[in-house]
């Protein structure tokens, strides 16, 4: 009898154990979808600097982006995070393949699939990284292709990037150390990495620290090593900076100051750098926001240094990370395909603000914080109102200037034949209003108009270029 009871109890215990798995895997799926319809005289679905033109017929197009995120969570201390992206413009491209006659691909790959019948292989990798805590330590490690935004509000680096980043919390202090490898050296003719791998890279290393002095005051600092040895024109410079955020009554004030020093043998922004240019640049920011009425009022100021004299052997322009791929000789940093941002501005056309974008269209007057070696001054003010729990409206105004002018960007007055001396790029006003159709789905309208400044005076065949504008209707779904 006793035996039977023991067997029964054991069976019950076993079944209980079987029914509650000790290591239940948590599968988490999230994502977003954004559809935008554009009516604009300055955007075309691409990315890069917005160069004002004499006159242009307004473009209208639909653009969509989906992002899918899957996390495989073994437990609270260990997970694999993945993210994917699918971008398309309605009617653009589909059915990519190799053209028999030219033996070239027909480009229906990334950002395609919006043409008739779709049928494009257009799934992009965004994130793939392991996120885990080291047992019995306060250390968290993220290893793999991950999102990273610098402690200077993204003006140096804001991108998806492959590397290893370890952070730790000790009471009120936080520290972090990271190593990222944006590119290996490549044999351009074959598209293969230069052997042995890992010897001639573009590397970025980061050290960060943060301390909560009180619940209302946080101070921090960061250091970045930018070291690009892919070609025989290397570039290595250091970025040091401090930042702080304080709550003062109902207001939150934040800012940073950063300095760059190093050298570059690359021909950056037309600088005469062949013999080796010294980098000597800086940036500063201060911003405030305060809750007032039904929303938040905000002001912000950003300065990045620029370079005027290209022959003095010193590059004073703030260096920002951008995509620099495929070259056998030298790269042009700070150029096309920015990997930095300044979202605090609230601008849509004036500067690169990833928060106002959300689809592939990514075109701005100040496209990188380097601004073609000229640096930038961006002064903005705005108000974000929550009118009802379902309805919101935002308005922003902002002015942009170059810190220094140089001839690398065409701003020649046709009447005088020389570059305009004015630093004033223009002033943007914009609005956004949105309504939550569901908790997850928001319909919104964005519009921006940029009054061009005297920097562009008479720069298009003796006439001023037309002021850029954009109007967008959007649907945003997040789950």
Partner 1 sequence: MKKTAVMMLAAFALSATVPAFAQMSKEEKDQCLLASKNCATEVNTIQQKIKKLNAEIKKGKKVYSADELKKLQDKLKEANDLLDKMFTNP
Residue 340 C-beta: closest distance to partner 1, Å: 9
Residue 323: CB atoms within 10 Å: 16
Answer whether 399's CB lies under 8 Å from 442's CB: no
Nearer to partner 1, 68 or 246 (CB): 68
Residue with token string 């598209």: 191
Which of 255, 241, 257, 243 lies closest to 289, judged by CA? 255
- Determine if 100 is a binding residue for partner 1 (CB under 8 A): no
The one among 25, 30, 60, 391 contacting partner 1 by CB under 8 A = 30
- Determine if 387 is a binding residue for partner 1 (CB under 8 A): no
- Determine if 28 is a binding residue for partner 1 (CB under 8 A): yes
Residue 245 C-beta: closest distance to partner 1, Å: 15
Q: Which residues contact 344 (CB under 8 A, 6 or more apart)?
A: 153, 285, 287, 298, 300, 302, 380
- Determine if 343 is a binding residue for partner 1 (CB under 8 A): yes
Provide the residue count of the chain. Answer: 479
Answer whether 201's CB lies under 8 Å from 181's CB: yes
- Determine if 22 is a binding residue for partner 1 (CB under 8 A): no
Rounded CA separation 410/459 (Å): 8
Q: Count the residues of the shown chain that bind partner 1, applying the rule CB under 8 A.
A: 41
Nearer to partner 1, 112 or 341 (CB): 341
Which of 300, 305, 263 lies closest to 283, judged by CA? 305
Span of 239-247, 356-364, 377-385, 464-472 interacting with partner 1 by CB under 8 A: 356-364
- Determine if 185 is a binding residue for partner 1 (CB under 8 A): no
Residue 434 C-beta: closest distance to partner 1, Å: 12
The one among 248, 391, 440, 463 contacting partner 1 by CB under 8 A = 440
- Determine if 32 is a binding residue for partner 1 (CB under 8 A): yes
Rounded CA separation 413/462 (Å): 7
Nearer to partner 1, 16 or 116 (CB): 16
Nearer to partner 1, 330 or 349 (CB): 349
Give long-range contacts, CB 8 A cutoff, 24+ apart: 243-249. 243/151, 243/152, 243/219, 244/217, 244/218, 244/219, 244/220, 245/217, 245/218, 246/216, 246/217, 246/218, 247/215, 247/216, 247/217, 248/216
Residue 205: CB atoms within 10 Å: 15
Find the binding residues for partner 1 in span 399-418 (CB under 8 A). Answer: none
- Determine if 3 is a binding residue for partner 1 (CB under 8 A): no
The one among 63, 92, 150, 158 contacting partner 1 by CB under 8 A = 158
Nearer to partner 1, 30 or 463 (CB): 30
User: Pattern 38-77, binding to partner 1, x per CB under 8 A?
Assistant: -----------------------------x-x------x-
Phi, psi angle pair for 215, to nearest 5°: -70, -15
H or E stretch covering 390:
none
DSSP structure string for 241-305: EEEEEEEETTEEEEEEEEEEEEEE-S--TT---TT-EEEEEEEEEEEEEEEETTEEEEEEEEEE-
Nearer to partner 1, 77 or 309 (CB): 77
Span of 311-319, 350-358, 377-385, 451-459 interacting with partner 1 by CB under 8 A: 350-358
Q: Which residues lie across from 193 on neighbouring strands? A: 186
- Determine if 24 is a binding residue for partner 1 (CB under 8 A): no
User: Pattern 122-141, binding to partner 1, x per CB under 8 A?
Assistant: ----x---------------
Rounded CA separation 360/45 (Å): 6
- Determine if 439 is a binding residue for partner 1 (CB under 8 A): yes
DSSP structure string for 139-180: EEEEEEEEEEE-SSTTSS-EEEEEEEEEEEEETTEEEEEEEE
- Determine if 285 is a binding residue for partner 1 (CB under 8 A): no
Span of 156-164, 200-208, 270-278, 378-386 interacting with partner 1 by CB under 8 A: 156-164
- Determine if 20 is a binding residue for partner 1 (CB under 8 A): yes
Residue 430: helix, strand or coil by DSSP?
strand
Contact positions toward partner 1, by CB under 8 A?
1, 4-5, 8-9, 11-13, 15-16, 18-20, 28-32, 34, 67, 69, 76, 126, 147, 158-160, 338-339, 341, 343, 354-355, 357-358, 362, 439-440, 476, 478-479
């Amino acid at each position: 009898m006793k035996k039977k009871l023991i067997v029964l109890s054991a069976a019950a215990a076993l079944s209980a154990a079987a029914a509650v798995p000790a290591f239940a895997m948590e599968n988490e799926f999230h994502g977003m979808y954004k559809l935008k319809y554009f009516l604009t005289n300055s955007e075309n679905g691409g990315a890069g600097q917005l160069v004002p033109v004499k006159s242009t017929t307004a473009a209208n197009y639909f653009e969509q982006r989906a992002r899918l995120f899957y996390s495989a969570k073994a437990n609270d201390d260990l997970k694999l995070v993945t993210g994917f992206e699918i971008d398309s413009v309605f009617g653009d491209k589909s059915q990519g393949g190799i053209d028999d006659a030219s033996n070239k691909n027909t480009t229906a790959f990334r950002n395609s699939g919006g043409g008739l019948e779709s049928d494009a292989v257009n799934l992009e990798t965004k994130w793939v990284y392991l996120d885990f805590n080291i047992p019995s330590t306060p250390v968290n490690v993220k290893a793999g292709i991950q999102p990273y935004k610098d402690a200077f509000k993204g003006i140096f680096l804001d991108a998806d990037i492959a590397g290893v980043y370890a952070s730790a919390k000790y009471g009120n202090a936080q520290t972090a150390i990271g190593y990222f490898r944006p590119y290996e050296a490549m044999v351009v003719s074959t598209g293969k990495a230069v052997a042995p791998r890992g010897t001639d890279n573009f590397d970025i290393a980061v050290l960060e620290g943060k301390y909560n002095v009180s619940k209302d005051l946080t101070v921090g600092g960061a250091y970045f090593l930018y070291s690009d040895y892919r070609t025989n024109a290397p570039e290595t410079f250091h970025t040091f900076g401090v930042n702080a955020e304080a709550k003062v009554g109902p207001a939150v004030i934040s800012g940073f100051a950063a300095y760059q020093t190093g050298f570059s043998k690359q021909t950056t922004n037309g600088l005469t750098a062949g013999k080796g240019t010294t980098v000597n640049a800086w940036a500063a920011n201060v911003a405030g926001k305060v809750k007032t009425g039904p929303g938040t009022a905000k002001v912000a100021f950003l300065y990045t240094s620029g370079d005027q004299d290209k022959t003095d052997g010193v590059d004073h322009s703030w260096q920002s990370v951008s995509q620099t791929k495929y070259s056998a000789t030298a790269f042009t940093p700070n150029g096309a395909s920015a990997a930095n941002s300044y979202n605090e501005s609230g601008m849509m056309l004036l500067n690169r603000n990833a928060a106002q974008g959300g689809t592939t269209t990514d075109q701005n007057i100040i496209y990188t914080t380097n601004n073609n070696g000229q640096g930038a001054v961006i002064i903005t003010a705005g108000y974000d109102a929550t009118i009802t729990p379902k309805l919101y409206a935002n308005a922003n105004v902002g002015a942009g200037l170059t810190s220094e002018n140089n001839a690398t960007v065409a701003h020649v007055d046709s009447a005088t034949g020389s570059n305009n001396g004015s630093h004033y790029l223009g002033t943007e006003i914009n609005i956004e209003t949105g309504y939550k159709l569901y908790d997850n789905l928001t319909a919104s309208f964005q519009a921006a108009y940029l009054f061009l400044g005297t920097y562009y005076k008479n720069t298009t065949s003796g006439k001023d270029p037309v002021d850029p504008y954009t109007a967008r209707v959007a649907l945003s779904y997040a789950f």
